[in-house]
């Protein structure tokens, strides 16, 4: 890369101050309102069944392009875009009845007793469409942002801040980790329901290495490619050698180590909060904060990569917070005394309480709070306590919105009483594109990174006007969506 252009690229993403949380919420709300309109079209008109060219195009416009335009063309008026999406959804909801009703329960198989079937139902961990939608929307926002940030069409206030402040991309990184924590709860719940004895710690660590090694290898490949191709990089983001793949790769073994503490502290949320508090105390009461932010980079690896190493503590707390939410919302929750409707209401209440808890903690931690707050600014570079609380509060609220939309438009999903009916209703209530993005996981994230690198090496992104940038970004989004659908069709899966 030309040295002068490389310097311009690095300056383009450096020393940024970010945006307000209110604006970030308005932009990210587009993901929820897009799903709201998709749900209205599907539940009232069965628009996406069968899934023809018109359905595919509409699905792409709603769940991919709407997010792209919210972060670019409509970045100064996200509320207007939200109104455009909510208005037809509200009209359909008020004027058309739902096309599908819950199926009647099928009698249990003769080979099993009623009690055995009931027990299997209670212990099952169903696939929730709202979780699929949540993770896919987060993946789409992340994949779009990592390329869009290199164009002037993407506002600088949405790019990652230098030291203090909040931005869309700062939130995206933490949300990526939080969502991984949510789905990791499924393995925890399966272990709790299993009658087999728990594996020893060293065996669990060996098992976690199977998840870590591919991520660490990807981190090394990214490191080699960035250094070898002289690619523009923002060193203060993670350090000289560290990158986000290393953060993801080191999470599994540390999670296994701390998972043993759940015998003493059964709440993952308490563990997450405890880690965040201890880390913040270390930042405030020692020279650690100054060491990370302003200390000269020494010759040792720790000094060169101190942002990535120490911010890992905050990301680890975010992962545990996500796992805590997952443990509470993934189980079916029904019993002899709790109907499917009551179980779903319980999930909604859990998400409300989670959102209120993390939001309240964030309010007192990041503001003066009428003289009772700590007034600590958010820092993604440090991944400090306010950052952990902000990410946890936001994602809990997002999960609530997606869950509420599913509950209102597709009540048959959580009321299904047998596996066959549940599968049918789940398929009906899930966008094909969002299902593919969720299933693609790590493979799609890797493809997005490769495409981003290819575009930046082949095109002077800083010198393109808005129409040219939008054309490239739309093509990029279409290619990424095609890759997701293709991998889904041919059953290629590499999830986080």
> End of a domain among 389, 415, 441?
415
Residue that is written with structure tokens 């719940």 in the block: 189
Residue 205 lies in a domain: yes
Phi-psi region of 32 (alpha: psi -120 to 50; beta: other; left: phi over 0): alpha
Residue 384 lies in a domain: yes
pLDDT attached to residue 259: 82
Residues 241 and 133 in one domain: no
How buried is 477 (Cβ within 10 angstroms: 0-12 exposed, 13-18 middle, 19+ buried)?
A: buried
The range of the structural domain enclosing residue 437 comes to 18-97+125-159+433-495
Residues 329 and 225 in one domain: yes
Helix (H, G, I), strand (E, B) or coil at 166: strand
Tokens of 156: 């600088």
Residues 275 and 409 in one domain: yes
Render pLDDT for 366-408 as a digit per residue (tens, 0 to 9). 999 988 999 999 999 999 999 999 999 999 999 999 999 999 9
pTM assigned to the model: 0.93
Residues 346 and 242 in one domain: yes
Residues 444 and 325 in one domain: no
Residues 190 and 327 in one domain: yes
Nearest to 483 by CA among 453, 429, 454, 446: 446
Residue 120 lies in a domain: no
Residue 371 lies in a domain: yes
* Whether 402 contacts 408, CB under 8 Å: no
Residue 452 lies in a domain: yes
CB atoms within 10 A of CB 237: 19
How far apart are the C-alpha atoms of 199 and 388, rounded to whole Å?
30
Residues 482 and 395 in one domain: no
Residues 331 and 453 in one domain: no
Residue 112 lies in a domain: no
Residue 338 lies in a domain: yes
> End of a domain among 415, 448, 482?
415
For residue 463, CA distances in Å to 25, 456, 468 come to: 30, 12, 10
Render pLDDT for 217-246 as a digit per residue (tens, 0 to 9). 989 998 988 888 777 778 889 999 999 999
Residue that is written with structure tokens 């970045």 in the block: 75
For residue 304, CA distances in Å to 24, 178, 236, 292 come to: 31, 26, 10, 10
Residue that is written with structure tokens 């206030």 in the block: 157
Q: Count of domains in the chain?
A: 2
Backbone angles phi, psi at 322, to 5 degrees: -65, -40
How far apart are the C-alpha atoms of 119 and 128, rounded to whole Å?
20
How far apart are the C-alpha atoms of 433 and 417, rounded to whole Å?
27
Render pLDDT for 135-194 as a digit per residue (tens, 0 to 9). 999 999 999 999 999 999 999 999 999 999 999 999 999 999 999 999 999 988 988 887
> End of a domain among 358, 383, 415?
415
Residues 377 and 488 in one domain: no
Strand partners, 166: 19
Residues 404 and 448 in one domain: no
Residues 356 and 277 in one domain: yes
Q: What is the 3-state secondary structure (H, E, C) of 438-482?
A: HHHHHHHHHHHHHHHHHHHHHCCHHHCCHHHHHHHHHHHHHHHHH
Render pLDDT for 242-281 as a digit per residue (tens, 0 to 9). 999 999 999 999 998 888 788 788 899 999 999 999 999 9
For residue 271, CA distances in Å to 321, 350, 426 come to: 8, 18, 33
For residue 460, CA distances in Å to 1, 8, 152, 169, 455 come to: 10, 11, 11, 22, 8
Render pLDDT for 457-473 as a digit per residue (tens, 0 to 9). 899 999 999 999 999 99
Residue 322 lies in a domain: yes
In the chain the first and final C-alpha atoms are separated, in Å, by 32
Render pLDDT for 23-66 as a digit per residue (tens, 0 to 9). 999 999 999 999 999 999 999 999 999 999 999 999 999 999 99
pLDDT attached to residue 122: 43
How far apart are the C-alpha atoms of 358 and 175, rounded to whole Å?
14
Residues 265 and 130 in one domain: no
């Amino acid at each position: 890369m030309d040295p002068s252009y490389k310097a311009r690229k690095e300056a383009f993403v450096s020393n940024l101050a970010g945006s307000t949380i209110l604006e970030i919420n308005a932009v990210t709300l587009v993901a929820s309102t897009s799903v709201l309109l998709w749900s209205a079209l599907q539940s009232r008109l069965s628009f996406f069944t069968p899934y023809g060219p018109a359905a595919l195009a509409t699905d792409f416009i709603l769940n991919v392009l709407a997010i792209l335009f919210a972060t670019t063309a409509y970045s100064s008026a996200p509320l207007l875009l939200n109104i455009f999406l909510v208005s037809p959804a509200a009209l359909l909801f008020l004027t058309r009845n739902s096309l599908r009703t819950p199926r009647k329960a099928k009698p249990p198989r003769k080979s099993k007793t009623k009690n055995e079937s009931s027990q299997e139902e209670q212990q099952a961990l169903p696939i929730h469409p709202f979780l699929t939608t949540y993770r896919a929307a987060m993946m789409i926002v992340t994949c779009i942002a990592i390329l869009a940030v290199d164009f002037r069409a993407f506002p600088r206030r949405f790019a990652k801040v230098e030291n203090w402040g909040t931005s869309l991309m700062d939130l995206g990184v933490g949300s990526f980790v939080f969502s991984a924590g949510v789905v990791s709860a499924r393995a925890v719940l399966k272990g709790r329901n299993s009658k087999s004895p728990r594996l020893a710690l060293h065996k669990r660590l060996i098992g976690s290495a199977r998840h870590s090694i591919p991520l660490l290898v990807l981190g090394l490949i990214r490191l080699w490619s960035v250094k070898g191709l002289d690619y523009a990089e923002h060193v203060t983001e993670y350090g000289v050698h560290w990158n986000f793949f290393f953060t993801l790769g080191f999470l599994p073994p540390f999670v296994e180590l701390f998972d043993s503490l759940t015998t003493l502290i059964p709440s993952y949320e308490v563990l997450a909060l405890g880690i965040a508090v201890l880390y913040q105390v270390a930042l405030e009461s020692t020279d650690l904060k100054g060491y990370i932010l302003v200390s000269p980079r020494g010759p040792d690896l720790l000094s060169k990569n101190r942002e990535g190493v120490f911010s890992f503590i905050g990301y680890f707390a975010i992962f545990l917070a996500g796992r805590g939410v997952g443990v509470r919302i993934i189980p079916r929750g029904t019993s002899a005394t709790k109907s499917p409707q009551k179980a779903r209401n319980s999930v909604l209440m859990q998400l409300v309480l989670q959102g209120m808890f993390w939001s309240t903690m964030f309010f007192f931690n990041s503001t003066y709070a009428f003289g009772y707050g700590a007034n600590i600014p958010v820092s993604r570079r440090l991944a400090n306590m306010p950052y952990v609380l902000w990410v946890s509060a936001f994602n809990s609220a997002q999960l609530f919105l997606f869950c509420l939309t599913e509950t209102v438009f597709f009540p048959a999903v959580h009321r299904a009483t047998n596996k066959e009916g549940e599968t049918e209703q789940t398929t009906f209530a899930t966008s094909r594109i969002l299902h593919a993005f969720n299933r693609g996981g790590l493979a799609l994230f890797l493809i997005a990174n490769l495409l981003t690198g290819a575009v930046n090496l082949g095109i002077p992104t800083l010198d393109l006007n808005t129409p040219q940038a939008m054309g490239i970004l739309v093509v990029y989004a279409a290619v990424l969506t095609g890759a997701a659908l293709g991998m889904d069709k041919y059953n290629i899966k590499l999830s986080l």
